[in-house]
Amino acid sequence: SLCAGGAPGISYRQLKDLKKANVLHIDVRERWEIDRFGKIPESINIPLGELVEALQMDPVEFKEQYKQKMPSKSDPVVFSCLAGTRSKQALGFAMSLGFT
């Protein structure tokens, strides 16, 4: 299950539809999980332990580190993980930093 703003528990099909609308997909799994279980296409990996720091980076530094434009606080973002727990934590972290 994936977690998105007002709609926790979106399906993979819903995520694919959201991606067509240029939603940034941040996968908060650890890098070893990506290696073991595979990368979700068009997602960027920012492990949960790095997320708060990453969302506060200078935009140039963010792009260098994650090869993706840093989201603004009003950009649509979806977080995912393996079981849904970390993605809900990531959503809480982002909201506490002012992301809507």
Per-residue pLDDT of the chain (100 residues; tens, 9 = 90+): 444 444 456 777 777 777 677 788 999 999 999 999 999 888 999 999 999 999 999 999 999 999 999 999 998 888 988 888 899 999 999 999 998 8
Residue 3 pLDDT: 47
Question: Which tokens sit at 56?
Answer: 């506060």
User: What domains, with CATH codes, occur in the chain?
Assistant: 12-97 (3.40.250.10)
Catalytic site positions: 81
H-helix or E-strand spanning residue 87? helix 85-96
pTM exceeding 0.75:
yes
